[in-house]
Structure 1
Amino acid sequence: MTDTRDRIGFIGVGLMGHGMARNLLEKGWPLTVVAHRNRAPVEDLVSRGAREARSVADLAKASDIVHLCVTASPQVEALVRGPGGLKENLAPGSVVIDTSTSDPSSTLALAAELAEAGIILVDAPLGRTPKEAFAGTLDCMVGCDAQTFRRIEPVIGAWAGKIVHVGGTGDGHKMKLVNNFLSMGYAALYSEALVLAQKVGIPPARFDSVVRGGRMDSGFYQTFMKWVLERDPDAHRFSLSNGLKDTRYIEAMADSVGMANPIGNAVKNAFAMAVAQGRGDDYVPMLSDVVAELNGTRLD
Structure 2
Amino acid sequence: MQVAEYDTTPEVARKLGAFIERRREQIAQRWADAALFRTVFTVSRDEAVEAGKAVLDALAEVARTGRLEDVGAPGFTAVREQLGRMAAARARAGFNPSQIAGEVAGLREPAVALLRAESGDAADQHACVLALTVLMDTLRLVVMEATVSSGEELIGRQRQQLLEVATPVIKLWESIVAVPLIGTLDSARSQVVMESLLEAIVEQRARYAILDITGVPTVDSLVAQHLMKTVAAARLMGAECIVSGIRPAIAQTIVHLGIDLGTIITRAGLADALAYALTRQGIVVSPSPAVGASPR
TM over 0.5: no
Higher Cα Rg, which structure: 2
TM-score relative to the length of structure 2? 0.25
TM-score relative to the length of structure 1? 0.25
Greater share of helix = 2
